Amino acid sequence: MTVSVCGTLDEILHPASADFRSLPDLIGGLMGRLADRAPLRGGALWLQDMGTLVLAQDRAGGRLCWTADGDPNAAAADPEAVVVPITYADAPVGEMRLVLDRAPDGAAPEAPMLQDVARQCGYLAKRYEVRRWAERRFGRPLMMVGMSPALRELDAFLEQAAHSALPVLLTGEFGTEKAQLAAAIHGCGPRRDGPFVQVNGADPAGTPADWFARAAGGTLFLSGVDEMTPALQGQIVQHMPSQLGQWLDAPGGWPLSATGAAAGMASGMGEPRVIASTTADLRRLAEEGRFSRPLLAELDFLCATVPPLRDRPTDIEPLVLAALERHGGRADETRTDELIALCKAHSWPENLFELERVIARLAVMTGGRPIRHGDVRRHAPWMVGGAMPTDPEAGIHPVGHPNGHPEPASVVPPAPSPADHWVHCALTRDQDALARLHGGLRKALVFLGERFADPITLDELSRQAHVSPSHLSYLFRTELQTSFKGLLGRIRIHKARELLAADRRLPITEVAMSVGYGDLSHFEKSFRRLVGESPREFRRNLPGAGRRP
């Protein structure tokens, strides 16, 4: 017979996720919720480096309460206590001893939910251990924050991958926690005391031979491997310890420069483990001849996708609270329901990078007081419905002026277009909305959302969508009520608005070029047509910007 536990694992975990600052608080909240849902009469939980939480009857009314002192054996001295080990990577890290109400037939109950909770306790204990290690190693308390199902899957991946020497390929949108996960894989494994060498794929310094030499005995993290030149991709694969035997003439699979070989061998360190991250689909790029197939073959062993924030709504609150704490705000004093509701409603196109910027700005500009709706409207207007009169996540809309400045009489803001919805879908990959479209049109929108700044033609887009140009043009008109060029223009202007709002010192010409306009006059005309005012007027009328004399 099993113990009847009211609620699901998600219901037990999610309310506890806000207590990110302290592992004892987080574990205590989790176990308190378990005690409310299962027939527990007493017990204790012990974790390495944390101590013991004792579950006892409260004198007032028999409620379950937790204290931070006690011996787990003494607290659960009942010989029929259920012992649930807490392990991580098959190593013991703690133990739960729980006294459960007996079943009516006298049989000792069993509870699969207890094993699930114990597993989560092990994952949380490891996260905080890695956080302490990262603070010592990198000077930053790196940690994955949240307890959504998607993040728990990453915990499980990390547990298995950290103790392997196989290459790891991490995929995720811009701004997701790929670097944090790479550091955690290194910090949880046997190489944690070895070097961790990160190479920026967009602008790498040094040569592959140097990278592998410096990372000997540790981890080489190729951040943004898809942005590396074809020449570098070819060199990297020949330096990797090949799992496939591609380079039979390279002893050990990783030829080093003379200096690197001497340094690596003198220290007694072995081959480096390779972790790579990408925002692109490397398999698609390899099929198109834009990424090295031999390199992909060597990387494609242990793979994980870091989910975007829009797919992890239950992680938003703990991430916001963690960011507030990092930037000098006391989360319990500055957090408001208004702030959390606005953050949960936003799609976060740049994921954690955008959230970190927004929360840091709010923490500084509000001076430690509670962050209200008006503060978000003033300092992050794109997140507030008042700044975008229709759906705040749905692309380009007329810009209101909540700072009280009237619209110029000569400017008539354009009415919202149905195409604005598809701007949002293309930029955020809204799976629910895209799933209802023709397969070719779906591929076209994803491509436009990724490559909007490139000079894209209908012929090129039709090749990406695997349909003819005429049929793709027909699909745009009938399903989206717009043209290919019309939607591309709206996407570019939407991104231009974001850039103008994020950095008010950024030159207009640079904004135009960043979103794909080579002609400033064309950019300004398109901006005025879609937004109702020029880029300079838009920037001047942003909340808090004030007007020029």
pLDDT digit string (tens) for 173-221? 999 999 999 999 999 999 999 999 999 998 899 999 999 999 999 999 9
- Contact in structure between 184 and 211 (CB atoms under 8 Å): no
Distance CA 114, CA 37 (A): 11
Residue 419's pLDDT is what? 80
Of 233, 234, 231, 235, give the one whose Cα is nearest residue 255.
235
Q: Which residue has the higher pLDDT, 541 or 273?
A: 273
Residue 268's pLDDT is what? 40
Dig out the tokens for 283 from the structure: 């398999």
- Among 36-45, 397-406, 409-418, 489-498, the minimum mean pLDDT is found in 397-406
Dig out the tokens for 89 from the structure: 């990577």
Residue 30's pLDDT is what? 78
Residue 154 CA neighbour count, 13 Å, CB half: 28
Long-range CB pairs of 425-431 (<8 Å, 24+ gap) are 425/449, 426/452, 426/487, 426/491, 427/349, 427/395, 427/491, 427/494, 427/495, 428/308, 428/310, 428/347, 428/349, 428/393, 429/173, 429/308, 430/310
Residue 59's pLDDT is what? 43
Residue 50 DSSP class: T
| Sign of the torsion formed by the C-alpha atoms of 447, 449, 450 and 454 | positive
Q: Give SS3 for 76.
A: coil
Residue 413 DSSP class: P
Residue 319's pLDDT is what? 93
Task: Please report which confidence band the pLDDT of residue 154 belongs to, taking 50, 70 and 90 as the band edges.
Answer: very high
Tell me, rounded to whole angstroms, the distance of Cα 103 from its chain centroid.
44
Q: Which helix (H) or strand (E) holds 403?
A: none
Residue 434's pLDDT is what? 84
Q: What's the rounded mean pLDDT across residues 425-434?
A: 84
Phi, psi dihedral angles at 90 (to 5 degrees)? 65, 10
Residue 261's pLDDT is what? 38
At residue 294, what is the residue type? P
Of 447, 426, 428, 442, give the one whose Cα is nearest residue 475.
442
Task: Please report which confidence band the pLDDT of residue 505 belongs to, taking 50, 70 and 90 as the band edges.
Answer: confident
Distance CA 38, CA 25 (A): 20
Residue 222's pLDDT is what? 97
**Burial, 356: exposed, middle or buried (Cβ in 10 Å; 0-12, 13-18, 19+)?**
middle
Residue 282's pLDDT is what? 94
498: CB partners within 8 A, 6+ apart: 349, 382
Residue 286's pLDDT is what? 93
Distance CA 35, CA 99 (A): 11
Task: Please report which confidence band the pLDDT of residue 72 belongs to, taking 50, 70 and 90 as the band edges.
Answer: low
Phi, psi dihedral angles at 198 (to 5 degrees)? -105, 130
Q: Give SS3 for 86.
A: strand
- Judge whether residue 115 has pLDDT over 80: yes
In which region does residue 51 sit, left (phi positive, over 0), alpha (psi from -120 to 50) or beta (all else)?
Answer: left
- Contact in structure between 531 and 493 (CB atoms under 8 Å): yes
Q: Give SS3 for 220.
A: strand
Q: What's the rounded mean pLDDT across residues 377-404?
A: 50
Q: Tell me the pTM.
A: 0.65
Phi, psi dihedral angles at 465 (to 5 degrees)? -90, -10
Distance CA 72, CA 99 (A): 12
Query: How are beta strands 273-278 and 168-172 bridged, if at all?
Result: parallel
Residue 370 DSSP class: -
Give me the percent of the chain exceeding a pLDDT of 70. Answer: 77
- Judge whether residue 69 has pLDDT over 80: no
- Contact in structure between 112 and 102 (CB atoms under 8 Å): no
Give me the percent of the chain exceeding a pLDDT of 90. Answer: 36
- Among 92-101, 126-135, 250-259, 478-487, the minimum mean pLDDT is found in 250-259
Q: Which helix (H) or strand (E) holds 385?
A: none
Distance CA 351, CA 502 (A): 15
Tell me, rounded to whole angstroms, the distance of Cα 76 from its chain centroid.
40
- Other C-beta atoms lying within 10 Å of the C-beta of residue 210: 18
Distance CA 538, CA 549 (A): 16
- Judge whether residue 153 has pLDDT over 50: yes
Q: What's the rounded mean pLDDT across residues 376-397?
A: 57
Q: Which residue has the higher pLDDT, 80 or 7?
A: 80
| Sign of the torsion formed by the C-alpha atoms of 150, 151, 154 and 159 | negative
Distance CA 424, CA 471 (A): 23
Full DSSP string of 247-303: -TTSGGG-PPPHHHHHHHHHTT--PPEEEEEESS-HHHHHHTTSS-HHHHHHH-SEE
N-to-C CA span, the chain: 78
